[in-house]
Structure 1
Amino acid sequence: MTDDEVLDIAIQMGRIFNDGDEEVARRLVAPDFVDHEASPDHPGGPEGYAATARWMRGVWEDATWSIVDSFAKGDKAMLRVIFTGRQVQDFMGVPATGKRVEVQHLHLYRVADGQVAEHWAVRDDLGLMRQLGAWPARP
């Protein structure tokens, strides 16, 4: 696959979260997909990834992942996104606050045979917790 084709697949993955488009998960997430960000007991494959998206869309009202930067090389694509949303359910032990957040994420996807085989992510969870009031701001 070309770098542009790999990048296009990674960008389409955003529709699973932004639009709740689970058909994209069934089409583009490999059956043996591994989400290295998920807990070890979380199911893999298309249904596991779609379930994560459903959960996130339930926790965060008006959840949006906006791509700021992206590139692909070989079988991997990297997306830098800004996540925004308003917390309406418990998240990582923090009860719903009703607060709106804006957080940077980095998502790395490995594509094999036209499907996403692996996903890694780095999120600014400390910044998120500060915005929710769950971690004190710097003095």
Structure 2
Amino acid sequence: MSTTTASENIALVRRMVTEVQQNGHFDLIDDFIHPNWVDHPQMPGHPGDREGVYIIMRNLHKALLDIKVEIIHSVCTGDVVATNKIIRGKQVGELFGQPASNQAIEFRVMDFMRVQDGKLIEHWACLGRINPVSEGA
């Protein structure tokens, strides 16, 4: 069990989402992700360890331009932080098996991440469908 507070755990997840997932600062992954990281919904072709985080984040940034991540909800129970977020960008490469559309897209993600020793150590996720976004949205 983590010794950090719920608000500290939520802040850690929010910083990781902003710095790594949205802004592409891959050099910060080791600052946020525990060496014993386990990704439970391991994506096909990606290791379920910390190296997999590097691969997934790089692939996300190859597939999407101008990534924006909007965290709709974040809650913490004990050492587990749950987020409901929307990821948006222009799809210029393959994303989760879908070929590039060269359109603005968005998809929802529900994440659960467990904190240990001030870092994220476990992850579960549910990805929503990739949807085109109308120009005015």
Query: Is TM (by shorter chain) over 0.5?
Result: yes
Contact 1:82 1:103 in 2 (8 A): yes
Asked if the contact 1:25/1:47 (under 8 Å) is kept, the reply is no
CA contact (8 A) 2:46 2:55 kept: no
| Ranges in structure 2 where 5+ consecutive residues have no aligned partner | none
* 2:43 counterpart (23, 39, 43): 39
CA drift of 1:22 comes to 2.0
Query: Is residue 69–residue 88 contact of structure 2 (8 Å, CA) maintained in 1?
Result: yes
Matching residue within 71, 78, 81 for 2:82:
78
CA distance 1:8–1:71, shift in 2 (3 Å): same
SS of 1:92's partner is coil
Deviation, 1:94, is 2.5
Alpha carbons 1:30, 1:45 under 8 Å: kept: no
1:2 partner amino acid: T
Letter in 2 for 1:72: C
Match of 1:131 in 2: 132
Distance in 2 between the 1:56 and 1:40 partners? Answer: 15
Shift of 1:8: 1.3
1 CA distance for matches of 2:44 and 2:97? Answer: 18
- Once the two structures are TM-superposed, the CA of residue 18 in structure 1 deviates from its matched residue by 0.7
Aligned to 2:116: 112
Deviation at 1:56, TM superposition (A): 0.3
TM-score (norm 2): 0.83
Asked if the contact 2:23/2:67 (under 8 Å) is kept, the reply is no
TM-score for the superposition, normalised by structure 1: 0.82
* Displaced runs of 4 or more, over 6 A: none
Sequence identity percentage: 28
Gap change, CA 1:98 and 1:117, over 3 Å in 2: same
Instruction: Give the aligned residue type for 2:58.
Output: R
1:8 paired residue among 5, 8, 11: 11
Question: What is the identity, as a one-letter code, of the residue corresponding to 2:47?
Answer: P
Aligned length: 129
> What is the distance in 2 between the residues matched to 1:107 and 1:8?
15
